[in-house]
Structure 1
Amino acid sequence: MTNYLIHEKSPYLLGHARNPVDWHPWGDEAFDKARRENKPVFLSIGYATCHWCHVMERESFEDEETARLLNDVFICIKVDREERPDIDSVYMKVCQLMTKSGGWPLTIIMTPDKKPFFAATYIPRETRYGRIGLQELIPRIKTLWQTRNAELKANAAEITQALETIKQKTPPQQLSKKTLDKAYEYFLQSFDRVHGGFGGAPKFPTPHNLYFLMRYYHRGKKDSALQMVEKTLQGMRRGGIFDQIGFGFHRYSTDERWIVPHFEKMLYDQALLALAYLEAYQLTRKEEYARTAREIFTYVLRDMTDEQGGFYCAEDADSEGVEGKFYLWTQEEIKNILPPGEASLFLSLYQHPEDREIHGMQEMPRGHFIPHLVPDSGEIPILTDKIRQKLFAARETRVHPLKDDKILADWNGLMIAALAKGAQILDEPLYLKAARNAADFIFTNMTDEQGELLHRWRAGDASIAGMLDDYAFVIWGLLELYEASWQTKYLEFALRLNRQMMERYWDEKEGGLYFTQHEGEDILVRQKEAQDGALPSGNSVALLNLLRLARITANSELENRAAKIAEVFSAQVAQHPTAHTQLLAALDFSLG
């Protein structure tokens, strides 16, 4: 038996198509049904490689009793956040506003006109550890909907109004070198001098912070700025957050030492981190950074590249229902695969019994370890590469994690930028060819009849109108590709997309770029932001693109648009500069 998701293209949605929950894709049909039947909407947002999304599915969405409750009370909608970042972004802001936290799976309960009155992330099936379970929550919501309907709708309207209030315009402030200094001082205070990175656990790579610090170092030769970057890059490369056997970075570290990751691998992390290591190599000429960039590219070209040239989204954290199983080893496995001398050498370098004390390791199967090097262990030993290849070959026989083979325009734009820059800096024609193939794939397969970008391609089907990040990130990739190849077709493609972006997303009244098109779907509020997250913000990337295009074409209007973006977000940037480091990188460029 299947539900309405069976006709979708997203691997995440298709993975829920046989749940007993009567899932609908996001669309008018589902909301019209909710109005006709006078039911609230249960919106669940996640993605294919999300560990806790799998947990909630196994516990609740595959459970007949919980599914019966959900189907009785709600119209249930599933959304792949990678396909619809516009929906995810709005409702994640709702969750953060209502609960002061966020994450995935994201759970929103709302009226048929899309106004939310309840928000949460993961919800267990039964109530435990003070967290209400679905089997208790659903009857409560049913009672409230039937007996206090007007009150719920009034609360939902207030929450929507609060979202509108966040958008209110603030007077512009002057951004200058002092803004850069303020961000640097904050990073200096929050820097983890022992392990690298900023703050405590969990630790995310956030490469755009490193881009800013490298530019700050280059501007004023502040040694501490570069030291923070190097300590962080070295800690990550030696840690368990890096796949020491097959290469590529996992999404984040659950501990402050970069050792215990959440094991999913995202394309955008590979692209953004490759750029960080390449820039560090440019600054220092240390081969370790060039080698790490090459290793990232090896992983992407080997495991994440479609035969037509585009790049896949991600690889799952789980295999055989266990998080990280594909990446874990036992001492016995190593000794069975390698000769005694090689096994002893590998274990002496990559296994550390004291890891059992690290937060997160207790959840790993007893006797298993995550291969990693000791921080500050000096040059990464080349001797172990032939050992690594033997272990990689053995690991390939295991059950692999799910690969989400969607191709997204925005993330592909980032990967094109990284490969093109890698081709330039490392003098590697293979990277240039891969970047060209991906750009040509987008041009051929991910534009509509009007030549406008489409967001998602999978299995021959391109769909979903492009969003700001699609345009900004692809233009970034094309600019790097133009500078690496000097083929004018890539500059022309970038200029064409830039014109479309300005026509479709520019706020004519106040300036800046909306996340969705002027003719796009109305989802509560239309967002216009410059704050970075795991990805740099579309407005900040577009700002630097505009400045670069202005210099290349001598078009002053592009520079004026760039200045307007900086002005619109200047108050936010001045108040919270470290939340806008991609914009600060553009500011650094503009200051010369």
Structure 2
Amino acid sequence: YSTCHWCHVMERESFEDEEVARLLNQHFVAVKVDREERPDIDTVYMNVCQGMTGHGGWPLTIIMTPDKKPFFAATYIPKYDRRGLSGMMTLLPRIAQIWQDDRPSCYGIGDRISDWLIEASLPAGNRAEIKAGVFDEAFQYLTRVYDSEYGGFGSAPKFPTPHNLYFLLRYWYYTGEELALEMVEQTLKSMYKGGIYDHIGFGFARYSTDRAWLVPHFEKMLYDNALLAVAFVETYQATGNEFYADVAREIFTYVMREMTSPEGGFYSAQDADSEGEEGKFYVWTAAEIMEVLGEFKGMEFCSFYGIAPEGNFEGKSIPNLLGTELSDDERRQLEPVRLRLFNHRSKRIAPFKDDKILLSWNGFMIAALALGGRVLDEPSYIEKARTALTFIETRMRVGDRYMLRYRQGEAANPALAEDYAALVWGLLEVYRSTLNPAYLQKALEVNSEMINLFWDEVQSGLYYYGKDSEELLINPKEVYDGSIPSPNSLAARNLVWLGRLTGDQATTRLAELILKAFSEPVSQHPWAHTHFLLAAMTDHFAGKDIVIAGDRHEEQTRDMISVLNQVFRPDITLVLKTSQDELVGELVPFGKEMKKVDDRVTAYICEGFSCREPVFSAEQLCEAVESSPGES
């Protein structure tokens, strides 16, 4: 993919090299695939690589028979043998000779790998409900691998994995376990302090090469910044600490400045390299800081941000706040200094920007902006989310099908299950932020289209690619939550929420089926499915369904909505029933008879199959929703 550092290295060493090219063209048909444009192909053959070698990653190298059955798999391959790795100049002639002399063995390996793939994709036997103890197991595992000094989970390299934090926030909310919230806060604060965060231009890099989050792999991905923005906004809701709100605003500033197309969609990524060097755009010397800021301000900035003569990355320094505690006032006072450095840095040759617009990642960013807009009271964020939805509808839909990617006026490649599920999530968050039923209606329509295209009518769950798409060796049903949530995790959560919001029994039944379809792998390894657990928790614990009968222009209506936006209440659904809007009654039949009482703005709160007495003020509503969450 375009921002993959080692992909570029292999490209320079081998694919652009005449000697390697001659060998490739003599014996092989070389096909290069952008994994972000064809994640279906990548998913199938990455499973192959992991099964054959025990590991995976990019660049991914597969050699297969003409009928697409793989018999060799690797990741990065140098041109010449190096550090125990066989090089292209050794491997290519050797494999070509085996193909010439013993072709049946290549086909045999390909057949065995294909059979293994098919067997591995068969559904698990146990289809029971996910028990509450699974949530405890996931929490206990995360506590065991938690880095109490620097936050995050496991050792280097460290990835953000925001859905672990979403799960911990909800575990804290439902159980009162303070350690869960502590783990979230320590992780977010440590990541922000480290060099993985761009303290000059904002936004997070993809991962850290060390446990302290100091030295990142410098590429910036849209999905990381979208999903982390959600984590910071939700943690602000949970704690009221303005620090988290400030970081979320900075992420949104970065995305709107650097990653937004003129048409309103969001670009995919920024490269790690510039001028052929990884991180060159982002690192500084103390002398350069002094030259821009002057000696006094320069020394102060270097002291705060760890800029030292010896450097912390290849002789230069990545700005970071490790070992530094900045007060809110100090951060504000440093803002003019940061701007001067940002303007100076802007004169450098910038890293390559991948201007593909991917549907799934745009769905994540739409969800993040909509959530941020309502919680932080920033209407411009919600407007950006709505503009992106319009872009998707007008530019990324061809006939009756959404496309996976858009670039330079062309939409291409049928969208996959993750694209549809991410779009539904974005629509649900925009609905929640605007309470405009047209977005709920659209979410239901896109969800229905997703079910028609991807649903397994026999075993339940979503296949990776659609019934109308190119057929690969297998059509997997992904549930593992890796760097992004899996299609089935996203869909399960959407189905639970849509069932709750509308009361539609068919949607609720689909939610039950998808939760049971994957209960065995999720229950066996819950820590590998933390986004899926969000759906299971919402289904397991009793939530509150709230209908506000009132018009938008009424102050009491706005106050009630504001009260619900400010606090972290992941178990609440909200519907606004105005006197003018008949669509709400069609989409949410159970609220049809919920009307103003004595012409006053009225809030109805239903929980556990029964409704309470209505309330008439924001204060009463706040008191009602603050009762402890309980089990269904």
Q: TM-score of the superposition, structure 1-length normalised?
A: 0.89
Instruction: Classify the secondary structure of the residue corresponding to 2:334.
Output: helix
Report Cα offsets for 1:184-222 as digits up to 9, x if no partner: 000111100111001100000000000000000000110
1:82 aligns with 2:32: no
- Match of residue 322, structure 1, among 277, 293, 308: 277
Displacement of 1:558: 0.6
1:469 is matched with which residue? 418
Aligned equivalents of 2:84 and 2:167: distance in 1?
41
- Residue matched to 1:28: none
Task: Report the CA distance between 1:376 and its aligned residue.
Answer: 6.6
Aligned counterpart, 2:221: 266
- Written as runs of structure 1 = structure 2, the 5 A alignment for 1:125-524 is 125-170=79-124, 171-351=126-306, 353=308, 364-366=313-315, 368-375=316-323, 377=325, 379=327, 381-450=331-400, 452-524=401-473
> SS at the partner of 1:245?
coil
**What secondary structure, in the 3-state scheme, does the structure 2 residue paired with 1:365 have?**
coil
Structure 1 residues 551-592: Cα deviation after superposition (integer angstroms, max 9, x where no partner): 221101111101111111100001000100011111111112
Which amino acid letter does the alignment assign opposite residue 281 of structure 2? F
Maintained 8 Å contact 2:169/2:184? yes
1:219-256: per-residue Cα shift (whole Å, max 9, x none)? Answer: 01101000110110000001000001000000000000
Letter in 2 for 1:393: N
Whether contact under 8 Å (2:37, 2:405) holds in the other structure is: yes
Write out per-residue CA displacement over residues 387-421 of structure 1, whole angstroms, 9 at most, x where no aligned residue: 11000000000001010001111100000000000
Name 2:539's counterpart in structure 1.
Answer: 590
CA distance in 1, matches of 2:505, 2:137: 30
In structure 2, the gaps of 5 or more residues are 542-632
Report SS of the residue matched to 1:307: coil
Instruction: State whether residues 328 and 369 of structure 1, in contact with CA within 8 Å, keep that contact through their aligned partners in structure 2.
Output: yes
Tell me by how many angstroms 1:293 deviates. 0.3
> Does the CA-based 8 Å contact 1:288-1:379 persist in structure 2?
no
Tell me the distance in 1 between the aligned counterparts of 2:324 and 2:169: 21
Is the Cα–Cα contact under 8 Å of residues 480 and 529 in structure 2 kept in the other structure?
yes
Letter in 2 for 1:483: R
In structure 1, the residue matched to 2:558 is none
Matches within 5 A, 1:61-76: 61-76=15-30
Shift of 1:174: 3.2
Question: SS of 1:108's equivalent?
Answer: strand
What is the CA distance between 1:375 and its match in structure 2? 4.7
Once superposed, what is the RMSD of the aligned Cα atoms?
Answer: 1.2
Deviation at 1:523, TM superposition (A): 1.0
- Pick the structure with greater CA Rg: 2
Q: Give the deviation of 1:340 after TM superposition.
A: 1.7
Query: What letter corresponds to residue 415 of structure 1 in structure 2?
Result: M
CA contact (8 A) 1:264 1:316 kept: yes
Amino acid aligned to 2:138: A
Residue-by-residue CA offset, 1:312-339 (whole Å, 9 max, x unaligned): 0000000011011000111111011002
Superposition deviation, residue 519 in structure 1: 2.3
SS, match of residue 117 in structure 1? strand
User: Mean Cα displacement is larger for which, 521-530 or 289-298?
Assistant: 521-530
Secondary structure, in 3 states, of the residue corresponding to 2:30?
strand
* Matched positions, count: 538
Greater mean alpha carbon deviation, residues 526-535 or residues 374-383: 374-383
Q: Secondary structure at the match of 1:457?
A: strand
How big is the shift at 1:352?
5.3
1:505 and 1:558, CA in 2 relative to 1: closer, same or farther beyond 3 A?
Answer: same
Q: Are the aligned partners of 1:235 and 1:375 in contact in 2 as well (CA < 8 Å)?
A: no
SS of corresponding position for 1:80: coil
Query: In 2, Cα distance between the equivalents of 1:355 and 1:432?
Result: 45
- Mapping of residues 559-570 of structure 1, within 5 Å: 559-570=508-519
- Residue 56 of structure 2 aligns with which residue? 102
Among residues 72, 75, 78, which one is paired with 1:121 in the alignment?
75
Q: C-alpha displacement at 1:493, in angstroms?
A: 1.6
- How far apart, CA to CA, are the structure 2 residues paired with 1:172 and 1:487? 37
Q: 1:396 to 1:504 in 2, by over 3 A?
A: same
| Cα drift, residue 353 of structure 1 | 4.7
Could you tell me how far apart the structure 2 residues matched to 1:248 and 1:199 are? Answer: 23
Structure 1 CA distance for aligned equivalents of residues 520 and 501 of structure 2: 29
Structure 1: gaps spanning 5 or more residues:
1-46
Task: Tell me the CA shift for residue 449 of structure 1.
Answer: 1.3
Residue 544 of structure 1 aligns with which residue? 493
Q: CA deviation at 1:73?
A: 1.1
Q: What do residues 22-77 of structure 1 show as CA deviations (whole Å, max 9, x unaligned)?
A: xxxxxxxxxxxxxxxxxxxxxxxxx1111001111111111111111111110000
**SS at 1:453's partner residue?**
strand
Deviation at 1:365, TM superposition (A): 3.3
Q: What secondary structure sits across from 2:262 in the alignment?
A: coil
> 1-side partners of 2:75 and 2:352: how far apart?
22
CA distance in 1, matches of 2:5, 2:123: 38
Distance 1:591 1:376 in 2: 42
SS of the residue 1:129 aligns to: coil
Q: Which amino acid aligns with 1:527?
A: P
Q: Distance in 2 between matches of 1:354 and 1:275?
A: 37
CA distance in structure 1 between the partners assigned to 2:309 and 2:177 by the alignment: 36
1:529 corresponds in structure 2 to 478
Report Cα offsets for 1:528-554 as digits up to 9, x if no partner: 021111000111111111111112211
Worse overlay, 489-498 or 564-573: 489-498
Alpha-carbon distance in 2 for matches of 1:491, 1:448: 22
Q: What residue identity is the alignment partner of 1:574?
A: S
Whole-Å Cα distance in 2 between the matches of residues 487 and 169 of structure 1? 39
